[in-house]
Chain A
Amino acid sequence: MSLTPEPAGATEIGTASPAAVGARPSDARVATKERLALLRRSKSFIAGSVIVGFWVLCAIFGELVVPEDPLASDPINDLIAPSADHWFGTDKLGRDVFSRVITGARDILIVAPVATILATVLGTALGLVTGYFRGAVDDVLSRIIEAFLALPVIIMGLLVAVALGPSKTTLILTIGILYAPIISRTVRAAVLTERELEYVAAARLRNERTPYVLFGEILPNVQGPIIVEFTVRLGYAIFTAAGLSFLGFGIPPPAPDWGLQVAEHYSVISGGFWWTVLFPSLAIATLVIGVNLIADGVASAFER
Chain B
Amino acid sequence: MLPGDVARRVLGPFADQASVDALNHQLGTDRPLVAQYWDWITSFVTGDLGESINNRPVSDVLSDPIVASAKLALLAFVIVVPLAIAGGVVAAMKEGTFRDRLISVGGLSATAIPEFVWAVFFILIFALGLGIFPTTAQFPEGASIFTQVKYLLLPAACLVCTLFGYIARMARAGTLEALDADYTRTAVLKGLPQRTVITRHVLRNSLLPTIAVVATQAGYLIGGLVIIEVIFNYQGIGLTLLRAATQKDIPVLQSGVLLVGVVYLVATLIADILYSILNPRVRLGAAE
Contact = CB atoms under 8 A, between A and B. Distances in A.
A23 interface: no
Interface in B140-179: none
Interface stretch (B39-47, B75-83, B196-204, B224-232): B224-232
A288 B113 contact: yes
B242 A277 contact: no
Contacts of B135: 269-270
A154 B226 contact: yes
If over half of B's interface residues share one DSSP class (helix, strand or loop), that class is named, otherwise mixed; here it is helix
A285 B2 CA distance: 34
Interface stretch (A2-10, A70-78, A155-163, A207-215): A155-163
A277 B114 contact: no
Nearest to A266: B231
Interface residues of B, number: 40
A281 B118 CA distance: 8
B112 A158 contact: no
B115 interface: yes
Nearest to A235: B112
B248 interface: yes
A201 interface: no
B139 interface: no
Interface of A is mostly: helix
Given A158-B242, A163-B1, A269-B124, A247 B112 contact: no
A274 B222 contact: no
A100 to B, nearest CB: 16
B241 interface: yes
Interface string A27-66: 0000000000000000010000000000000000000000
Contacts of B1: 163
A235 B112 CA distance: 7
B245 A239 contact: no
A155 B124 contact: no
A90 interface: no
Interface stretch (A11-19, A120-128, A289-297): A289-297
A269 B108 CA distance: 28
A154 B230 contact: no
B109 A150 contact: no
B126 interface: no
Given A159-B245, A239-B112, A285-B113, A262 B120 contact: yes
Interface in A250-273: 259, 262-263, 266, 269-270, 272
A44 B101 CA distance: 11
Nearest to B265: A150
B252 to A, nearest CB: 12
A225 interface: no
Given A155-B226, A246-B114, A284-B114, 11 more contacts: A151-B257, A153-B219, A162-B245, A236-B112, A242-B116, A247-B226, A259-B114, A262-B117, A269-B123, A281-B116, A289-B109
